[in-house]
A and B are shown apart, each in its own frame.
Chain A
């Protein structure tokens, strides 16, 4: 068994990250470094209104007073924010009218990632906003969606075309003072997706954003704003990849969701940023602030995340349950292999009456990976009838990895019911042997067992992506048999 493990581990570690290629695309970059002039430059390039520039500058000035948070169970090497390029965009005509205006190399890049920019080549029923480095390259199915009154476009376009909506909602869920990385994002954010579902509309297709980092030494700071008006429904998915490099790259994003009365938003993430090599060299620092506000009564926000990539992950997709009878959900699978680190979880803030939240977190650690669940369930004084169920499971593969759980529970209302369950398990040799005896190789057995462990979460993903997620889990863990 020892010998087998070594062999399999070797096989795996020599395996390539499938999306690690770099595309030679003519790119316009600004000088590295961060100061007010850089912020004015970014804002100017995007032809932004004055109020948005003010928002950025206000954020930047506040950021200068802040320190990087140190409370996470992560070892983060020092980051020199003056060494990062804050804006890099493929050179092309602004807002391409047709596909012919898009650089063929750019098209090839997204084809290679399995995200064709041509609508007819797409999985039917999925609209995509493709973001490369600092800008959105193309958004598909915009016209089809517009017929229903749905707005789905890049954030930059939304600023130009729907400034009122952006101004009304931006920063209301994640204020610019929120935390170090959110404040940095508020100062330098480049592109991302904007989505508005009008009253009473069920969005007929999956909306998705695909984020790709391509250029070296750049950071990606996208911002996504999703508004579901009364009685509306939308399912949204994001995916992300990056080339293999020896340097770490910073990704600090913000996602804000607002759900009005009786609205429902399902937000799914399949995160596959470059995780670094087997010795922990390189990889993306994924420091993301995601938060949803259930503003209306009976509203519902559901987060599902499959986190397999990134050298370091720091993210806590959260729900503020302000509307009475509103519901928040968080379903997560986080994988750490080799030297990856993850500190991830959620916050469920119960403010309205009879609010409900469910947390299902499945951590998988292999190699030297360190995996932490950190979650807060807070019930304020007036939130009568609040209900929470949390389940945090950890699966260990091998004996050099770690799993940690940091649940915080703050309840100020007597009527609240809060449950927390946690388990830690290992893949048993007897389970693997049982599979072997039926003709299934050890690699495939681990894949089966891990996917079984994560099934509850994977089932929450839209069908088309559940299959992808299963494969991804298997690839991320190849050879990490314990």
Chain B
């Protein structure tokens, strides 16, 4: 579903991504790990269409279409979901109103009628249970005054509402205590279907105790320097990133 070839990208003229190639097939979960500053979040930003990243080379195909030419909202409606590392607050806009607008945009894209208020609230109730989120959340403003854990749960909740084909979770585990981590991971696992995929970006291995990846990639200095099965994550947990850095630096 997603084919990235030799992707290079810069922020403010500084090259961050130095040639990424990656293929994600339906049903796969890919973990992208790596030390801070290796370009993981920048890759997520490019895939979601954030315009602060300038793509200088390479291509990204999503179901055979040129993803880089699509607007962020069309990517969303096409099934790409980004779980933000730092979810944004929108004061005065209730979660109900926000999600209703989003869900109905997605439905319009699929040629469906907007959901009635009661159907929408029913859907929202179902999905809220999935992430064990406080039911008062619906009336609160988007992420405003949410704790760190609530914000991350709220991202998974939105993912559940939008049922993406490709979910990109950018450090969704950072700042979570172990209970919240389990809830977030359970949410992701329960949303898993044979035809949808996820890219899980994480700094630590612990999330991967709960979300079991098919493939683990290690990013370092703007490149994917190692790709293997789930056992790679355990190796990284044990040995840290230094041996990889050394390996790469020696090659250069």
What is the interface of chain A, defined by CB distance below 8 A to chain B?
A: 1, 428, 430-431, 433-442, 444, 448-449, 451-456
B90 and A436 within 8 A (CB) = no
Distance between B104 CB and nearest chain A CB, rounded to angstroms: 9
B88 and A455 within 8 A (CB) = no
User: Per a CB cutoff under 8 Å, which of A433, A444, A452, A455 touches B72?
Assistant: A433
Q: Contacts A438-B76, A452-B141 given; 9 further ones with Cβ under 8 A?
A: A428-B88, A433-B72, A439-B77, A440-B101, A440-B105, A442-B73, A444-B105, A448-B98, A452-B90
A448 and B158 within 8 A (CB) = no
Given A452-B92, A454-B92: A439 and B82 interface contact (C-beta under 8 Å): no
A440 and B102 within 8 A (CB) = yes
User: Per a CB cutoff under 8 Å, which of B51, B89, B101 touches A444?
Assistant: B101
Within 8 A of A (CB), among B8-59: 48-51
Q: Which residue of B lies closest to A442 (CB)?
A: B73
B109 and A434 within 8 A (CB) = no
B90 and A439 within 8 A (CB) = no
User: Per a CB cutoff under 8 Å, which of B48, B51, B84, B90 touches A448?
Assistant: B90
A436 and B84 within 8 A (CB) = no
B residues less than 8 Å from A435 (CB atoms): 90, 98, 102
Measured in the bound complex, the distance between the Cα atoms of B6 and A273 in whole Å is 56
B102 and A439 within 8 A (CB) = yes
A-B contact pairs, 9 of them (CB 8 A): A433-B50, A434-B90, A435-B102, A439-B109, A444-B101, A451-B92, A452-B93, A452-B94, A456-B92
Measured in the bound complex, the distance between the Cα atoms of B215 and A342 in whole Å is 59
Measured in the bound complex, the distance between the Cα atoms of B91 and A454 in whole Å is 10
Given A439-B73, A440-B101, A440-B105: A434 and B84 interface contact (C-beta under 8 Å): yes
A residues less than 8 Å from B76 (CB atoms): 436-439
B105 and A431 within 8 A (CB) = no
A-B residue pairs, 4 tightest by C-beta: A452-B92, A452-B93, A436-B72, A439-B76
Q: Which residue of A lies closest to B93 (CB)?
A: A452
Q: Which residue of A lies closest to B97 (CB)?
A: A448
Measured in the bound complex, the distance between the Cα atoms of B49 and A433 in whole Å is 9
Q: Which residue of B lies closest to A427 (CB)?
A: B90
A residues less than 8 Å from B109 (CB atoms): 439
Distance between B93 CB and nearest chain A CB, rounded to angstroms: 4
A residues less than 8 Å from B162 (CB atoms): 438-439
Measured in the bound complex, the distance between the Cα atoms of B241 and A270 in whole Å is 61
B102 and A438 within 8 A (CB) = yes
Given A437-B48, A440-B102, A448-B97: A453 and B91 interface contact (C-beta under 8 Å): yes
B87 part of interface (Cβ distance < 8 Å): yes
Given A428-B88, A439-B77, A439-B162: A448 and B101 interface contact (C-beta under 8 Å): yes
Given A448-B93, A448-B98: A436 and B106 interface contact (C-beta under 8 Å): no
A residues less than 8 Å from B88 (CB atoms): 428, 430-431, 433-434
User: Per a CB cutoff under 8 Å, which of B73, B90, B94 touches A431?
Assistant: B90
Distance between A441 CB and nearest chain B CB, rounded to angstroms: 5
B residues less than 8 Å from A437 (CB atoms): 48-49, 72-73, 75-76, 81-82, 84
Distance between A361 CB and nearest chain B CB, rounded to angstroms: 15
B51 and A1 within 8 A (CB) = yes
B73 and A452 within 8 A (CB) = no
Distance between A369 CB and nearest chain B CB, rounded to angstroms: 21
Measured in the bound complex, the distance between the Cα atoms of B71 and A444 in whole Å is 14
